[in-house]
Each structure stands twice: as C-alpha cells, then as structure tokens.
Amino acid sequence: MMDVIGRGLTSASQVDPEIHNETKGFPAGFIVRMTVFPKGPNFTAQAQQDGSLKLFNGFDGKPDLTITFKHMSHAFLVFSFQEGTARAFANDRMVADGDVSYAIRMVRCLNKMEALILPKVVAKLAVKEYPEQLSFTQKLNLASRIYLKVAQTYIKRS
C-alpha cells in the first residue's frame, strides 16, 4: 500500500492544482521519505523544478523530510483509511524528522489526495475535513486522471 500511496501522491502532484500548489512549496531537489520503523515499506519522492513530485528510487542518503510510522499497525490504520494522517500525528503514531512546516504541507497533500481518490464516505473517515466544494464531476475527473497515471507507472515498470 505504501507503494500505491507514493505513486498516487506523485501522480496527484501532476494532476491536481491544489496539490501541485502545495508541492511547489518544496524547494527543487527536496527529498521526502515516508517509511515504517525500523526497515519497513517506504517511498521516497523528490520535488522537481516544475513543482511536481517524482518517485526517487535508490536514494541512500538522508532525506530533507522523513515521516516515519512507529509500527506497521500504525501505518495500517492510516493506509486502510481507518485513521487520518493528522490524527495519527496527534496520537503519536508517526514522527517527522525535518522541518515541521514541510511535514504539515505533506499531510495536506496526502489529505487532498485521499479526498480525491477515495469514495466520499471513506474519504470522510480518512481526512480531517472533507473538501465540501469538491463536486462529484471534478472528483471523478481528477481521480480518473490520478488512477491512470498510477497505472501507467506500473506498466512502465514492467
């Protein structure tokens, strides 16, 4: 699921204007990693010059921002959409190593992505505040474009 979230986030940064606006706030070359302690699943993404995110495989250095779930069960709660990312931070289930303002920016991106790609009833459970101005047609359009980009990343990988 971590792989899907990473691909979804990078795809959403290219498709959704609100997420793209958030990711433009990362300096070009900024590296963010989301992982599970101690050596669980993870993804690493790098901010591009155009403001989008791109998966960055094979990075062995120290990222500018690392968001770490303290246990696999904590990651499961978030990625099965039983608990939102903001709630997980509040419940001390994950820690951020890096600038807190960038971590907050990342959480906003994750929340918007979840609101877009999940059915409304599930998304309302997963995010702190569901964007009420998001129309069904807008959600359907953006979600289908994100899913298509995610699928393309798997096809290119084969």
Q: How many residues in total does the chain contain?
A: 158
64-92 average pLDDT score: 90
pLDDT band at 79 (very low <50, low <70, confident <90, very high): confident
107 is a domain residue = yes
State what percent of residues in the chain have pLDDT above 90.
69
Residue 17, C-beta contacts closer than 8 angstroms, at least 6 positions apart? none
pLDDT of residue 158: 57
Cα 85 to Cα 78: distance, rounded to the nearest angstrom: 6
117-145 average pLDDT score: 90
111-128 average pLDDT score: 88
pLDDT of residue 126: 81
19 is a domain residue = yes
The boundaries of the domain holding residue 34 are: 2-151
157 is a domain residue = no
pLDDT of 82 over the 80 cut: yes
pLDDT of residue 18: 95
pLDDT band at 98 (very low <50, low <70, confident <90, very high): very high
pLDDT band at 141 (very low <50, low <70, confident <90, very high): very high
156 is a domain residue = no
- Among left, alpha and beta (phi > 0; psi -120 to 50; other), residue 129 is beta
Which CATH number is 38's domain given?
3.30.1050.10
State what percent of residues in the chain have pLDDT above 70.
99
34 is a domain residue = yes
60 is a domain residue = yes
pLDDT of residue 57: 83
88 is a domain residue = yes
Report the chain's mean pLDDT, rounded to a whole number.
Answer: 92
Give how many domains the chain has, as a whole number: 1
Whole-structure pTM value: 0.88
158 is a domain residue = no
86-111 average pLDDT score: 92
